[in-house]
């Protein structure tokens, strides 16, 4: 099974946000989409999830157009974690995560695996202490982890290939939770064959944990490859302008983008 976008373009009103995007992601791949604000990253992720219909081009999953799948069937294999959501009801964390099981329930509402799956997802994201706490009362990082748990619960019992699409999954997370989340995603992808496509602003995390980076700029895909090949001085200058340097790890050659201060720091 392969998730493919061919000739994808999109606009909001008169504003073009994506132009002629051609990408394909294989089963079990882990890919990060990077770029400046407004590059079209979140829009592309929504199109790959089937949540946004592109104005031009198409997206296929296993050779079948995403739009040809009933939403319930598509949601069993493809889960999208947005940057944030507003919840109109006073759901607890447990109830939020349980919503991920809706696509898996039978016509009569049966889901014998559901309670165990929900509990494992909650434990995986360290949400046990917040189990009965209202979702709306959580911090930004805690809400993010609850939405990730929902996505894991949504696709974890689906046989065959699955895709997890994440929009800024490390936003609002402290360094410890960022590291734990990234390592868990990589481990899950390898052990379970889950395809992961994530939008990241943190180029250091992207280069460290993802063997493939897609770079968007002004709605176009301008680079696609390994961090070593993609994160070059020329690409960084195109995206962010001047004032940056590239440092490379001595043994792995993994690049790290460093900010070059335009003025010296004031003395304390």
Q: Please report whether residue 135 resides in a domain.
A: yes
The pLDDT assigned to 10 comes to: 97
Q: Please report whether residue 268 resides in a domain.
A: no
Beta bridge partners of 164: 79, 196
The pLDDT assigned to 218 comes to: 94
Q: Report the C-alpha gap between 92 and 153 in whole angstroms.
A: 16
Q: What is the DSSP string of 84-106?
A: ----SS--BHHHHHHGGGGGGS-
Give mean pLDDT, residues 199-203: 92
Q: What is the CATH number of the domain that holds 85?
A: 3.40.50.300
Neighbours of 7 (CB within 10 A): 12
Structure pTM?
A: 0.90
Residues 6+ apart with CB under 8 A from 222: 215, 216, 235, 238
Closest CA to 227 of 213, 244, 217: 213
Q: Which domain holds residue 225?
A: 2-259
User: Distance of CA 265 to CAs 240, 260, 262, Å?
Assistant: 22, 11, 9
For 58-89, the pLDDT digits (tens) are 999 999 999 999 999 999 999 999 887 888 78
Lowest mean pLDDT among 33-37, 104-108, 116-120, 212-216: 104-108
For 81-123, the pLDDT digits (tens) are 988 788 878 899 999 999 999 999 877 778 888 899 999 999 9
Total domains, the chain = 1
Does residue 190 have a pLDDT over 80?
no
How many contiguous H segments (helices) and E segments (strands) does the chain have? 9, 12
Q: Could you give the residue ranges of the DSSP H alpha helices within 78-173? A: 93-98, 114-124, 140-155
- Angle at which helix 140-155 crosses helix 175-192, to 10 degrees, equals 10
Does residue 205 have a pLDDT over 70?
yes
Does residue 21 have a pLDDT over 90?
yes
Q: Please report whether residue 49 resides in a domain.
A: yes
Beta bridge partners of 3: 25, 61
42 three-state secondary structure = helix
Lowest mean pLDDT among 9-13, 148-152, 173-177, 198-202: 173-177
Q: Please report whether residue 266 resides in a domain.
A: no
Q: Please report whether residue 113 resides in a domain.
A: yes
Which pairing describes strands 212-217 and 220-225: parallel, antiparallel, or unpaired? antiparallel
The pLDDT assigned to 91 comes to: 92
Q: Report the C-alpha gap between 38 and 32 in whole angstroms.
A: 16
Q: Report the C-alpha gap between 254 and 268 in whole angstroms.
A: 34
Q: Report the C-alpha gap between 68 and 89 in whole angstroms.
A: 31
Specify whether the CB–CB gap between 36 and 84 falls below 8 A: no
Percent of the chain topping pLDDT 90: 59
Q: Please report whether residue 265 resides in a domain.
A: no
Mean pLDDT of the chain: 89
Q: Please report whether residue 267 resides in a domain.
A: no
Provide the token pair at 177: 């939770």
Percent of the chain topping pLDDT 70: 97
What value, to the nearest 5°, has the Cα angle with vertex 66 and ends 27 and 220?
A: 75
């Amino acid at each position: 099974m392969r998730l493919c976008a061919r000739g994808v373009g999109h606009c909001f009103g008169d504003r073009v946000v994506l132009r002629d995007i051609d990408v394909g992601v294989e089963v079990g791949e882990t890919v990060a989409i990077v770029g400046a604000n407004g590059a079209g990253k979140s829009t592309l992720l929504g199109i790959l999830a089937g949540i946004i219909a592109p104005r031009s081009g198409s997206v296929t999953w296993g050779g079948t157009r995403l739009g040809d799948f009933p939403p319930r069937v598509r949601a069993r294999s493809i889960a999208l974690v947005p940057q944030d959501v507003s919840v109109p009801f006073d759901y607890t964390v447990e109830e939020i995560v349980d919503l991920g099981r809706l696509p898996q329930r039978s016509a009569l509402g049966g889901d014998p695996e559901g309670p165990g799956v929900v509990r494992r997802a909650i434990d995986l994201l360290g949400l046990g202490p917040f189990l009965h706490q209202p979702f709306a009362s959580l911090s930004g990082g805690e809400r993010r982890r609850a939405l990730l748990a929902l996505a894991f619960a949504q696709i974890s019992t689906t046989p065959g290939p699955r895709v997890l699409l994440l929009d800024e999954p490390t936003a609002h997370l402290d360094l410890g939770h960022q590291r734990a989340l990234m390592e868990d995603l990589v481990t899950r992808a390898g052990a379970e064959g889950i395809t992961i496509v994530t939008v990241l602003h943190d180029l250091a995390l992207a280069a460290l944990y993802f063997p493939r980076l897609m770079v968007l700029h002004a709605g176009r895909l301008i680079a696609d490859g390994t961090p070593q090949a993609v994160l070059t001085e020329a690409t960084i200058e195109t995206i962010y302008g001047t004032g940056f340097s590239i440092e490379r790890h001595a043994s792995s050659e993994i690049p790290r983008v460093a900010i070059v201060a335009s003025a010296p720091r004031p003395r304390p």
